[in-house]
Structures are given as C-alpha cells and as structure tokens.
Amino acid sequence: MSKALHHLGALAAIIVVMSLILSAQSFAIGVDKPLNDPALEARARAIHKQLRCLVCQNQAIDDSDADLARDLRVLVRERLSLGETDQEVLEYVVGRYGDWVLLNPPFNTRTLALWIGPVVLLLFGGVFAVVILRRQKYQPEVAPTDLTPDEHARLQALLDNERGNP
C-alpha cells in the first residue's frame, strides 16, 4: 500500500510541476510587435529610451512591463509609421502627458522645480546640519554631581520602601 501511495504522490508532484510550467506562458509578458522597417524600429527604440514610464516613474518605457508603457510604445510606433519625425512624436507625447514624461525634461519655468528643487533641499539640509552641530558644540556639558547626605538618605528611604523594608 505504501508503494502505491508513494507512486501516487510522485505522479501528483509531476502533474503540479507540469501545470506550473505550462501555465507560466500565461504569465509571460507580451512582446511588442516591432516595425517591419529596421531603421524605423531603431528610431522607435531610441524614442522609447527618452520617455518615462508613467507607472514606474523612474524607468524608460523601453524597459517597462507596465500596460501604459506598452501603450506608449505602440503609440510611438504608430506615429513613426505615419511619417512623423522623432521630434514630432516627442512633441505629441509631451503635449499629451506634459514635460514630466521625458526622462530628461527641458530646463524651463514649468520644470524649474525639477531642476532646482534637489539643490535647494540639499542646501537647506546642509544649513540645518551645521546649525544643529554648532548648537551641540557650544552647549556646556553638565557634570554629574554627588548626592548630598540628605538626598542620599531620601534615596535610600525610597529604595527601602520599594523593597518592602519600612
């Protein structure tokens, strides 16, 4: 009986492994259909590397597996297929999603916070650190003082009271 049970367990394990292997294809990420013209596809890939995935936020749509990134890749390929230049495609996408969709946004009044914000935060952090360090440097250290005989007696009475000694 145990031999039959062992074979049944092995068969069940094989079925589970095969099910996982075969179902893995359903979890596979769909690959975009590249353009037939290799030069046009190379242009599309170059544009993909300039556009930010709006879901992943710090990843180019060329590297992203998000559905929105795939949609943007399809959009770029469609626009290029219509005969638009790389600049026209980028302008179209920026017009739709704003400068933030570019991985390297231009320096202008709308993107000023993106470019200057980190520098300002770093400066404020440095000033804050200097102020804190100077305050600590100039604070006098308080040396512990010995207890007076009266304080020592009061402390001993409190300790004795805690221990249950009246």
pTM over 0.75: no
The DSSP letter of residue 61 is T
Q: How far apart are CA 68 and CA 83, in angstroms?
A: 23
Report the pLDDT value the prediction gives residue 144, as an integer from 0 to 100: 65
Q: Is residue 18 a part of any domain in this protein?
A: no
Find the mean pLDDT for residues 3-11.
63
Q: pLDDT tens-digit profile of 51-103?
A: 999 888 789 999 898 999 999 999 999 999 999 999 999 999 999 998 889 98
Find the mean pLDDT for residues 36-62.
91
Concatenated DSSP letters for 136-165? HHHSPPPPP-PPPHHHHHHHHHHHHHHHT-
15, two tokens: 């079925």
Nearest to 58 by CA among 136, 130, 114: 114
Q: Which domain holds residue 54?
A: 33-106
- Name the percent of the chain lying above pLDDT 70: 78
Given 106, 136, 154, which residue is the final one in a domain?
106
Domains in the chain: how many in total? 2
Q: How far apart are CA 46 and CA 44, in angstroms?
A: 5
Based on the fold, state whether residues 73 and 40 are members of the same structural domain.
Answer: yes
Based on the fold, state whether residues 63 and 96 are members of the same structural domain.
Answer: yes
Given 73, 88, 106, which residue is the final one in a domain?
106
Q: Residue 26 above 50 pLDDT? A: no
Based on the fold, state whether residues 85 and 120 are members of the same structural domain.
Answer: no
